[in-house]
Structure 1
């Protein structure tokens, strides 16, 4: 069994056959043409949050994500993130767990966030409010949508669902990459494999860069697959991961 992240980064020949037009050129186009401008609380364009020297960027990113999640669940505004010691402690714990799991961080790197890191995390968390404003006020916000495992793919948890849009959060200095789109396609396939179709759109939100890219699922898959409809693209992925013998000799 492997994770959706590992799958999105592997099996190059399979992905080339499934979505042959998901090329570096298309990814470059996606970064330009599929961007939706986000606004800050004053109505101005959302600005990037630079990484200050000495910042543990991965831990700060996860702290901001969990802070935004805890705030949303409790009905509080992002600006109040640092006002609650209990919330700081819980967001820190969650952040350290995630970084240890995915990055293999050592215990000595799990020291409490410094004041400068907390302030940077607050700036990142506030950018989530700009993402929410890009949708209708009545759109439900769900952190951690769950996906049933299929074949050799583990059960997975996405980052965020807003209305009919599945949003992957990438808090990084880089632009959208092909692996990000493949990860979203994998979530859609897991959804389809469970007999569901919850999402009409997919998006990639980067609190660090202050960017949001969004696409309609049917048209995106039609374009990058060379003309295959959504049901065929996702169905082929489901069939592939159910062929478990294909990964018997692989190490992830």
Structure 2
């Protein structure tokens, strides 16, 4: 009889223990779910941060595109617009006089200069031409065209094989215009009869050297034409290049650029 009367108490204790175990298990499951939730929240938060950064980057890229468009528009306005205005005024002057052939020749030179600037803008902003090989051969081609009607002999020393390197649009523009300005100086001011374009690669660097046998740089005269040596140095700085200008027995301008900076 005593055993029979003690059974309910035993079952009650066992039930309590079972409830405690269930509660403990439930607590463990709850804590586990909480931890999983925290991990999931942390993961999603990290993804959100990454997505936010990507959105910021996309917005930044969109802003860069817009800035590039504005730069091109401004460049066309400044370089081409002013020239077209001058041509218009010149044409009106010729219309009034109708006799001075020298003014017609001057007008032709102005049109040629503006056409050259338009071609430069188009080429430097064409992303399909962003390779080092294309840049070097374009520079050689433009120098040949620039000097072909002068008494200046151009000698080019360019490697037959140029390793493929992608370059940035800014690098292409600054490097091209820098060398073009140097060539213009040799043509207009240096009184040179020979110029040499030398391109070489050594120690992970590219060196472009342009030399002439003229009278050298006349800093005051060059500044009057809107160029100036400071402008050359500024262009070199923009592409992380070192510019060496030697003014002895003619002029030698040497631009050295690490190949790792071509896309910066």
Q: After TM superposition, is the score higher than 0.5?
A: no
- TM superposition score normalised by structure 2: 0.24
- TM superposition score normalised by structure 1: 0.24
CA radius of gyration, larger in: 2
Larger RCO of the pair (alpha carbons < 8 Å, separation 6+): 1
The structure where helix makes up a greater share of residues is 2
